[in-house]
Amino acid sequence: MDENEKKITSGIVVEEKIYTTAKLGMLVLLAVPIVYLIAIAMIIFGSVLFVPGIIIACVAWFPLCGLRVLKPNEALVLTLFGKYKGTIKEEGFYFINPFCTAVNPAAATKLAQSGDSQNQQQAVAAATTTTVTSDGLGKKISLKAMTLSNGRQKINDCLGNPVEIGIAVIWRVTDTAKAVFNVDNYKEYLSLQCDSALRNIVRIYPYDVASNVDTTGDGQSDEGSLRGSSEVVAERIRNEIQSKVNEAGLEIIEARITYLAYAPEIASVMLQRQQASAIIDARKMIVDGAVGMVEMALERLNEKELVQLDEERKAAMVSNLLVVLCGNHDAQPIVNSGSLY
């Protein structure tokens, strides 16, 4: 994508730049009380300096508005009269231009974290508004790895069966300028993109392995499924989300499926189907084993030449052995005290 296309799709592209300034916060903090002492002395002892002392006392507090404290893995995006000046990323006690304003449109948005109590049927992450009392303190951007849990969603798989699925996404901000200026609210943007990516990927896979289903897009059927290929599905979800949030300056570290089940309306039917399939597989294994044992018994009798059986007696023997080996209950033996026939 060239520069012109980028401007069309994302508007004006803002490049992140580091705000370079000395860490003079402690110096300013100590200097302001000294200035106030000088102003008070001018007011008390100098008749000519009374008015300048009053003026100094009225404006000496203003540099305190430029004090900012940053902890590790925090950032502060600064604008001056609407123009982006830069981002402070290194921890420390700073003095910046008091007219600079910290910007963070997502400061009052809290995404649902993994394990939070919420309506499990809700697809969109719950957002709560917090009161921001200080421009500098409430509008810092966290650079830490954070977890988003968007709850469970009901989505139809590629066979049309409704399934409930939930994911947890670990993410962090890598480009503060894109996160602040390219999207309106990067946290809400991430939440919506997670929902969209989850639906796009889940619709490609069946819940369980199904025949004639192509999940990779190579034109050949495969054994991909939501239940059996959870690692592959999670990686595709992560890549899908990452492709959508690049313009917001976010990095998706990991995506994991936290919940997967059939929707309640078809769960009982699908359970019966799985039980029937398991019974069929078990019966097939029993029959295969029984046939092998009967074949082995006939071969051993022929080798030892213990008895000579015609075709009719062989068929009866095979029938009796299959009944004994494939039956659900223990066989009840019948003792024959007469002749062999």
The domain spanning residue 180 has which CATH number?
Answer: 3.30.479.30
> Would residue 334 count as lying in a domain?
no
> Would residue 143 count as lying in a domain?
yes
One domain for residues 189 and 173: yes
Reading the block at residue 235, the tokens are 């990686």
Higher pLDDT, 284 or 304: 284
One domain for residues 84 and 32: yes
One domain for residues 74 and 168: no
Neighbours of 209 (CB within 10 A): 14
One domain for residues 154 and 223: yes
User: Is the model's pLDDT at 97 over the cut of 80?
Assistant: yes
One domain for residues 117 and 251: yes
Question: Which of 77-91, 116-130, 209-223 has the least mean pLDDT?
Answer: 116-130
Chain segment 181-234, per-residue pLDDT in tens: 999 999 999 999 999 999 999 999 988 888 888 888 788 888 888 888 889 999
Chain segment 128-143, per-residue pLDDT in tens: 333 333 444 468 999 9
Residue range(s) defining the domain that contains residue 215: 104-262
> Would residue 211 count as lying in a domain?
yes
| Last residue in a domain, options 81, 103, 125 | 103
One domain for residues 252 and 137: yes
Cα–Cα dist 111/173, whole Å:
14
> Would residue 207 count as lying in a domain?
yes
Give the total number of structural domains in the chain. 3
Question: Which of 63-77, 147-161, 201-215, 278-292 has the least mean pLDDT?
Answer: 278-292
How many Å separate Cα 286 from the centre of its chain?
43
Higher pLDDT, 327 or 253: 253
> Would residue 75 count as lying in a domain?
yes
Cα–Cα dist 283/276, whole Å:
10
- The answer to whether residues 231 and 260 touch, using CB atoms and an 8 Å cutoff, is no
User: Is the model's pLDDT at 314 over the cut of 50?
Assistant: yes
One domain for residues 206 and 182: yes
Distant-in-sequence, close-in-space partners of 86: CB < 8 Å, separation ≥ 6: 17, 18, 19, 20, 78
pLDDT band at 80 (very low <50, low <70, confident <90, very high): very high
268 three-state secondary structure: helix
Average pLDDT over residues 5-12: 49
| Last residue in a domain, options 88, 103, 118 | 103
- The answer to whether residues 255 and 168 touch, using CB atoms and an 8 Å cutoff, is yes
Higher pLDDT, 175 or 53: 175
Reading the block at residue 179, the tokens are 């996160």
